[in-house]
Structure formats: C-alpha cells, structure tokens
A and B are shown apart, each in its own frame.
Chain A
Amino acid sequence: MRLRVALAVSAAMFTIHAASAQEPIRIGSSVGLTGYSAATDRAWRDSLELAAEKLNAAGGLLGRKVEFVFEDNRSEPQEAVVGYRKMIANDKVVAVDSGCVSAGNAAAASSLVRAKVPMILCSILPPRPEEQKWAFSFLPPPRFESETRFRYLRDHTTIRKVGILHDPTPYAMMMRDLGIKVAQEFGIEVVTTESYKQDDADMSVQIGRINSAGAGAIVKMGQGGSTVTAAKNVKQLGLDKMLLMASLDDGVLFTQAGEILGEQFLFVAPGVQIPASIPAGPAREAADEFLNTWRAKFGDRDPNAGARAWDSFSVFARAVKEANSTDGEAVRSAMEKMSGVQGAVAKYNFSPDQHVGITENPFVLGVVRKGKFEVKRSGV
C-alpha cells in the first residue's frame, strides 16, 4: 500500500515537473506602437520577435521556449503603467525588454523593482538609484552622439559656431544640456538653442534664428519626421552653407533629408546602419549575423533600432544561461557580469556600477550619396 502511494506521488510530481519544464519563459515588453515612439518601438518589437523565433528554433532557453508579451503603451506613461502591471500580475513575466518611451519606463520602474523584475531598456535608465539597480540600458550614452558631430566640425570644417534644434522629449532635453558642455570641450560655441514640437509642420522661424545668430551648423536633437521638415526649411531659406546634423534615427528619414540637402545633411549612425564602415572582425561578424536574419525577413528596412533590440535580447539570454535560472535577482546579478559581449551595434560592458552597456562610441557620421549611406570622412 505504502509503495503504491509513493509511486502515485512520484508520478504526480514527475507530471507537474514535466509540465513546468514545458512552460514558456515569458518576457514582457512595453512598446509605443502608436505615438511619438512608434517608428523605433515597432522595430524594437519586430526584432525581439525575430530573435525569440531564432532562439526557439535552436531549442529555446534553458530547454524552454521563449514567449514575448507585448503591450502597447501608446507612448503614454499612464498606459505604460497599466501594461506593466498586467505583465507582472497576470502574465507573470520574468523580465521586461522594453522600448524607448523613457517616461513610461520610469513611471513603472518602482512596480518592477517591487516585483523583482529586471528591466532591459531601449531608453535611458529610470532616475532613482534603487530603480537603476534593476535596469539595464542599451541606449548609447547621449554624449557619444554629440562627440561624433562636434569632432567632425572641429577636425574637418572651419565651423566653430552652432545652433541646437531640439524637441521637448526627455532624451532630446538631456542631449541639449550635454551637447552644450561637449561643444565647449571641442572648442565649439553653441550660439543659440531652439525648440520645436514633434508635429510642427514648419521650423523656418527657429532655423532663421539659428542662422542669424551666426551658426554654421544646426545640431538637431530629436527623432521623427521633423528632420525632413528641418531639411526642407533649410533649403527653402536658401541657406546653402548651413549644415544640418541629425541625431540617431530611422534610415528612411535620412534618405529623404539627404535627397533634399545633399552633402549639407549629415547624420549620426551606428556601424550597423552603414555596414561597410565596420572593419572585419568580431564586430563585423556580429553585425552580419543580425543583418542577414533581419534582411531575410524585412528586406531593406532600416536596422538601427532593430539591431539594439536584437542585442538586448542576446545579452539577456546570455545572462539567463549564466544564471541558469529565470529568477529575477539571479538574472539581475548575471546581467551585471555581462562585460565584453559583442553585439550588432556595439560591445556591451555591464557591471555593478555600469548599467548603461555601451561604453565605447559606436557612431560614425553618415551622408547620403545616390540614395546610399556612406561615412563622411572629409570636410565640405
């Protein structure tokens, strides 16, 4: 009788264990599929799905399939909070790998910390130190974008006065303040800063002010269609010598702005956006691995945001393997040990004191020539 009971209990436990082994690892993702972050966050979502597909085809993670739960935050913090709480309470996600709506990620950070859910982010880190402990950013530090542009101006042009044109998003505001400091380090003076709203249909007034302040280049900080609007306005105002230097963005917008302004339009880009700029070696191999998978599914769609999402998931998956667990604290701790990991965009160096993974400048300055992106190496 005792033997029968023991066998029955063992069989039941085995069944439960087998079932849990088949349960997928759920990872949440709060993305702005509509609103100002839509272009970046749609690419973020698509790339995560692609990465999960590839991993699952190769056997999954710790022997389990990976499943993403995407929640559209409409680029609004309140929506993000609701979505995050659903993912924590209902979907029981073990981690989140979220898009670039920094206000949404910051608004939900305290809930995620309480639930011990590591945050892998496209955006900047949340503001409070106790929240930063659980967050890992895959966004290149804003300083790198500014350095790339000002270094080019210092080394290849005679332009020593610039105007900053920015939108009011957290990232652009941070870039503006930092840009003013970085410009000084390169011997460049920011003569004026002008702001615009993302949906402004005309920026002639701001660009006119920058021109009359004596600037030789417009350093634009902000994403979306506004870059094309600014390019049109520079052309309409007949500013033949004025450079327009755009920040990190989708390649479609660069192509459009480049067609309008030609070599007057320059943009910051990671190597993966101009693959020929990456020298042969591990960086090129990592970029090619991503680009081959990406292009097979999405053709010539711009790989910028998608590449960072791909990297974020690769590093996360590596941390889970290192931890041999999906427990929040174990994964968080393993993420802090992810140093020297080569990704498609950059090499990632996380540590207990370093939760922004990109520590070396991955950017080049690009230009559009005959519809193709090339690295701008000499002056105008």
Chain B
Amino acid sequence: MISPAITSTRPRAAWTAALPVIAAGALIAYGLTSSGYIATVLGFAAIYGVFCTGLNFFMGYTGQASFGQNAFAALGGYGSAILTDRLGLEPVLAILASMSIAGIVALVVGYPTLRLRGHYLAMATFALGLITYEITIEWTSLTHGYMGYSGIPPLGLFGYELANEKQQLVALVVIALFGVWISNRLRNSRFGRALRAIAGSEAAAAALGINVARYKLAAFVIAALYASVAGSLFAHFIGFISPEVFGTAMVVLSFTMLYLGGIGTTWGPLVGALIASLIPEVLRSTLPGGLKEGQDIVYCAILILILIFVPKGLSSLGSLWQARRSAVREG
C-alpha cells in the first residue's frame, strides 16, 4: 500500500514540519556536549540517515522495492578505502570518485533490472547485494576479504583531518542535512512529482506522459549515489571496513529505519535512523545486568509498538496529533 505521505499534495503545518528538525537539532547538541561514545552513536545515525534518505527516493517517492542498496554502500566504502590508501587521494575526492563509480554501476545494473516489477525486482536487487558481498569477501587482493580494510584516513580536505568523533559528527550532520535538503527540493520539483505519480500508479503515470522506466532508473541512480556516500562516510568515520559492515544486516536495519521514521516523507529517514540507533544504546545503558541478554527482545518489542501505534512513522507524530485535535474540535 502506498502511504498518503507519498502522493499527498496537502501542505503540512509549519510547526509540525519543524518538529523533527528541532528534535534532531537537540539530539545533535546533546551529542556535541556528551562523550565520544554518544557522538559515535549519533555519527552512525547520520550516516544511516544519508543511506535511508537515498533509499527513500526509490522505495518511498517512487514506490519500488530494493533490497540491494548495500551493494552501493560497499562500492562507496571500498572505493574510498582503496583510493585514499593506495592512490593517496584526499577523502573528499575519494568520496566523489566512488560516487561516480557507484552511479555508473547503478546505471548499468539498473537499466535491465528495473524492467522487473514487484517481487521480481526485489529479488533481483537482493541478488545484487549478495553478489557484491561475495566479491568483497573473495577479491582479497583488492578488498582484503574478511580481514577487512584498515587505516582509512578520517574525513578531511587539503591535509586537514577531522581528528575526533565530535568534529566528524558535525561534518556528518551537515552532510545528512544537505542530503535531506536535496531530497526535499527534488520531492517538490517536477521530477519528484513524476516519481510520486509512479508510486501511485505506473499505468496512470505513463498515461500522463511520464517515461516510467527513465524516472525509475533516475531514482535508482540517486539512491545509489546516496548509498555510496554513506558507505564512504562509514569508512572514513571508523577507519576500518569489512564485508560484514555492508551485509544483509545493513538492509534490514535501513528498512527498519525507513518505516520507523516514515517512508515517503522528507525527514522520516533521518528521524528513523536517529531513533533506531538510539534505542539499543538507551537499553544498553539502562537495562540492569541480568536483563541485558534480553536487550534485543525489548528493542524489537519497542519497534513493533511504534509501528502499531504510529504506522506512518515517527515523523508523522505531529500531524497525527493535529488530526486528533481537529477531530475533537469538530466532534
């Protein structure tokens, strides 16, 4: 079912739209004034925010299924690692070069793959992720296989490096917000409206003169570019990558974040990434020793409860509350 958030043209109240931004801002301020551990957790959230914002183009705005975006994150991560380590490229240039490679691969792979629909498309994209995962394991001379790639320099430009987690967190948040800004601009453009039309009905969109295949391919490539950036950021943030980082767990986690925050919404992916990253850490810090073994159960229970009571995602909380107030007034 397509969420009304994707196809609706009804403007949202300014304050409800600002709510997630304020919440994200407060959490980031908390990260900057807390320990390196909190900064790390929020840094990961920002990276996943970028990844999910990209995925949202394809799954949210366009209403397609992709289980293989981790492949492009791997391209970004390994691209950055290899280009900075072996060719001595600046991290920012390595990120841009990796994006180009990921974009070309997405174009080449997407052209035949996106002719498929529904479950077939989902399976094809899943296979893409698995193939990339196998390559990162088996091509040891390039990727170091399961041993992982270490010694990747932190983010920086012209020899200046962001040495600690907090400096990197600022950079990651700026990049994540920039990603959301682009997403918002595109969502409300002619291009974005075409994507949303495809999400509503491919046949109807085609009848309106939209080149469905081309727009789907464009959304797929944009999602791949975002995923590549996320993979590169991960590599520079941690300084180490291995195939497990870009495995199936990444796909599952990003889906959780996307649905938790609100698929098809502009801020949903970032909000979902923040919440899904913070819940396990809150549990880690608050659950007493004996209950720590059940941390995953509590985490899953919280996710299920959120999805039951806020099915449109956490970024829709404000509008949900507003709708109830209106209903009470009218009633």
A residues sitting closer than 8 Å to B (CB atoms) are 33-34, 71-72, 76-78, 81-83, 85-86, 88-90, 102-103, 106-107, 109-110, 126-128, 131, 168-170, 173-174
Contacts and interface: CB of A to CB of B under 8 A. Distances in A.
Interface in B107-161: 137, 140, 145-148, 150-151
B50 to A, nearest CB: 15
A288 to B, nearest CB: 31
Interface string B281-310: 100110000001101100000000000000
A179 to B, nearest CB: 16
B97 interface: no
Interface in B253-299: 281, 284-285, 292-293, 295-296
A127 B147 contact: yes
B40 A82 contact: yes
A174 B144 CA distance: 11
A103 B165 contact: no
Nearest to B41: A82
Given A81-B40, A86-B284, A89-B35, A168 B239 contact: no
A107 B164 CA distance: 16
B59 to A, nearest CB: 22
Given A78-B44, A169-B146, 7 more contacts: A77-B238, A85-B165, A103-B146, A106-B147, A107-B238, A127-B147, A173-B146
Interface in B11-38: 35-38
A81 B165 CA distance: 12
Contacts of A72: 292, 295
B26 to A, nearest CB: 20
- Taking chain A's interface residues, is the majority helix, strand, or loop, or is none over half, making it mixed? helix
A85 B40 contact: yes
Contacts, number: 84
Contacts of A81: 40, 238
A33 B146 contact: no
A174 B38 CA distance: 35
21 contacts: A71-B284, A77-B238, A77-B242, A77-B244, A77-B245, A78-B44, A82-B37, A82-B44, A85-B36, A85-B40, A86-B281, A103-B147, A106-B147, A106-B148, A106-B242, A109-B240, A110-B239, A131-B150, A168-B137, A170-B148, A173-B147
B132 to A, nearest CB: 15
Contacts of A77: 148, 238, 240, 242, 244-245
B249 interface: yes
A170 B145 CA distance: 8
Contacts of B37: 82, 85-86, 88-90
- Taking chain B's interface residues, is the majority helix, strand, or loop, or is none over half, making it mixed? helix
**Lowest 10 A-B CB distances belong to which pairs?**
A89-B35, A89-B37, A107-B240, A86-B37, A85-B37, A170-B146, A103-B242, A85-B40, A89-B36, A170-B147
Contacts of B151: 127-128
Interface in B163-180: 165
B150 A109 contact: yes
Contacts of A34: 296
A83 B151 CA distance: 20
Interface in B53-80: none
Contacts of B35: 89-90
A107 B147 CA distance: 10
Of A34, A85, A109, A174, chain B has the most CB atoms within 10 Å of the CB of A85
A174 B36 CA distance: 33
A110 B35 CA distance: 17
A72 B145 CA distance: 24
B293 A107 contact: no
A300 to B, nearest CB: 23
B305 to A, nearest CB: 22
A173 B140 contact: yes
Of A86, A90, A168, chain B has the most CB atoms within 10 Å of the CB of A86
Contacts of B44: 78, 82
Nearest to A92: B35
Contacts of A168: 137, 145-146
Contact of B244 (A76, A82, A86, A126): A76
Contacts of A109: 150, 240
A110 B37 CA distance: 14
